[in-house]
Structure 1
Amino acid sequence: MKSLKRTIYIILVIVLTIAVDQISKVLVRANINGRTDISPSERIPIIGDFFTMMNVENTGAFLGMGNDLNPTLRIILLLILPIVVLGLVLRHILKDKTLDNLSLFAFASIIGGGIANVYDRIVYGSVTDFLFIDLGGVFKTGIFNMADLSVTIGMIILVIMSFKKRKQ
């Protein structure tokens, strides 16, 4: 029975991650004018100029990397490879019964975020990015979305957990 609860937990985190991401993207596409390049036409301040929303359709990967790839390489690197890796990670966390709940959450967040962005690439041909942070030049992000945030948080949790395990 414990195995069933664990599997449900993993699936629930993945599904919720995908749902939050896709709902946020639907709202952005419907309500914020956007462009398909890195200079969006409309910026909406959330917290002054420090945290803004916009709508950018990213045909590449992180920060637009891969925009210039030929179509075959783009399919391999931005669709096939991520699907294979996400499948392997999912298989790993379903089989490895030694992972704690926080690590399971982290891996499931990464998988959910990855699936959400791959879905966008398949359905729309691009990924909708819309969040931007600029702390006056001290810290500045690229334009990102909720799936990216889930993947990043998942990775941070895994790094912290690996340091904790090394200390023990």
Structure 2
Amino acid sequence: MKLSKRSIYIFLVIILTIAVDQISKVLVRTHIIGRTDIHPGERIPLIGDAFIMMNVENTGAFLGIGSDLNPTLRIILLLILPILVLGFVLHHILKDRTLDNWSLFAFASIIGGGIANVYDRIVYGSVTDFFFIDLGGVFRTGIFNMADLSVTTGMIILVFVTFLKKKPNT
């Protein structure tokens, strides 16, 4: 089976997204978790108090949602269901030739980020989160990782693409 340029583009975005996420997590696990002078949850300022690095092992989903679920439900909701959804979305973008490049990039980023976090849940039993942004209380995030950033960026792109495609009724 010969892959088209379009399919190569999709798989390249997915693979690069996974690679960036996993490399960043290896660096955090090696240089943050492995240090005896840094305790779990300790804040490490990168750019003042606005951009902070800290290590949190998240056993749930977004912002820890689902971390208190029983193990069976956690497997179903945080592993099986995401794998099925990611597979469905991948199948959809490979088959739907009407999608524009921005939508392909957005969906591929979401798939790559999703796969990266599912991989962590399978291999480590949790997802390593480590970035935190606080712009003086005006804008504040939860603790996140590069996979989360990819999923969020993909979703934002999809929202913009959807609004730009809508034609005003005249």
TM class by smaller structure: over 0.9
Structure 1 counterpart of 2:71, which letter? P
Mean CA deviation greater in 69-78 or 133-142: 133-142
Q: Which residue in 2 is equivalent to 1:31?
A: 31
- Aligned partners of 1:33 and 1:42 also within 8 Å: no
Q: Give TM-score scaled by structure 2 length.
A: 0.92
Instruction: State the distance in 2 between where 1:137 and 1:7 align.
Output: 42
Instruction: State the distance in 2 between where 1:82 and 1:33 align.
Output: 27
Q: How does 1:87-98 map to 2 (within 5 A)?
A: 87-98=87-98
Q: Which residue in 1 is equivalent to 2:114?
A: 114
Alpha-carbon RMSD across the aligned residues, in angstroms, is: 1.6
In the alignment, structure 1 residue 133 sits paired with structure 2 residue 133: yes
Q: Which residue in 1 is equivalent to 2:9?
A: 9
- Aligned partners of 1:32 and 1:42 also within 8 Å: no
Q: How big is the shift at 1:135?
A: 1.0
Q: How does 1:153-168 map to 2 (within 5 A)?
A: 153-167=153-167
Gaps of 5+ in 2: none
Q: Indicate how the Cα distance of structure 1 residues 76 and 115 shifts in structure 2: closer, same or farther if over 3 A, else same.
A: same
Structure 1 counterpart of 2:152, which letter? T
Q: Give TM-score scaled by structure 1 length.
A: 0.93
Q: How big is the shift at 1:45?
A: 1.1
Q: How does 1:69-80 map to 2 (within 5 A)?
A: 69-80=69-80
Deviations 1:119-139 (A, max 9, x none): 000000000000000111111
Deviations 1:33-87 (A, max 9, x none): 38xxxx9443221110000111110000111111110000000000000000000
Q: Which residue in 1 is equivalent to 2:60?
A: 60
Structure 1 counterpart of 2:157, which letter? I
Post-superposition, which runs of at least 4 consecutive aligned residues in structure 1 deviate over 4 A? none
Structure 1 counterpart of 2:48, which letter? G
Gaps of 5+ in 1: none
Length, aligned pairs only: 163
Q: How big is the shift at 1:149?
A: 0.1
In the alignment, structure 1 residue 100 sits paired with structure 2 residue 100: yes
Instruction: State the distance in 2 between where 1:164 and 1:94 align.
Output: 22
Instruction: State the distance in 1 between where 2:141 and 2:153 align.
Output: 15
- Aligned partners of 1:132 and 1:143 also within 8 Å: yes
- Aligned partners of 1:33 and 1:41 also within 8 Å: no
